[in-house]
Amino acid sequence: MNSVLPVFASTSLQAPIGVFDSGVGGLSVVHEICQHLPDEQIIYLADTANVPYGAKTDEEIRALTAIAVEWLYRKGCKIVVVACNTASAFSLDFLRQKYGEYFPIIGLVPALKPAVLNTQTKKVAVLATPATFRGQLIKDVIEYFAKPQGVEVIAVTSLALVPIVEEGKQHTVETQQLLQQILSPIVSSGADYLVLGCTHYPFLKQSIGYVFADQMTIVDSGQAVARQVGRVLAHQQLNALPKMGSQPTVSCYFTGGYTIQTDTLLKQLLSPQVTWKIAQFTAY
Q: Which residues are annotated as a binding site for substrate?
A: 21-22, 53-54, 85-86, 199-200
* Cβ proximity of 196 and 219 under 8 Å: yes
CA 160 to chain centre: 17
Per the DSSP assignment, residues forming a β-bridge with 125 are 154, 194
Q: Is 41 in the site for ligand DGL (CB under 6 A)?
A: no
DSSP-derived 3-state class of residue 24: coil
Q: Is 54 in the site for ligand DGL (CB under 6 A)?
A: yes
- Per the omega criterion (within 30 degrees of 0), is the bond before 52 cis? yes
Q: Which stretch binds ligand DGL (CB under 6 A): 5-13, 83-91, 92-100, 145-153?
A: 83-91
Q: Which residues contact 68 (CB under 8 A, 6 or more apart)?
A: 20, 45, 47, 87
Minimum Å gap between C-beta 12 and ligand DGL is: 29
Q: Is 221 in the site for ligand DGL (CB under 6 A)?
A: no
Q: Is 84 in the site for ligand DGL (CB under 6 A)?
A: yes
Q: How many whole angstroms separate alpha carbon 211 and alpha carbon 215?
A: 10
Minimum Å gap between C-beta 19 and ligand DGL is: 11
Among 10, 119, 129, 158, interactor with ligand DGL by CB under 6 A: 129
Per the annotation, the verdict on 252 as an active-site residue is: no
Among 25, 104, 135, 168, interactor with ligand DGL by CB under 6 A: 25
Angle between helices 205-212 and 173-189 (to 10 degrees): 60
Q: Which stretch binds ligand DGL (CB under 6 A): 17-25, 64-72, 240-248, 256-264?
A: 17-25
> Largest Cα–Cα distance in the chain?
54
Q: Is 46 in the site for ligand DGL (CB under 6 A)?
A: no
* Cβ proximity of 78 and 10 under 8 Å: yes
Q: Is 255 in the site for ligand DGL (CB under 6 A)?
A: no
Active site members: 84, 198
Residues that bind ligand DGL in the complex, under the rule CB under 6 A: 21-23, 25, 51-54, 84-86, 129, 132, 162, 198-200
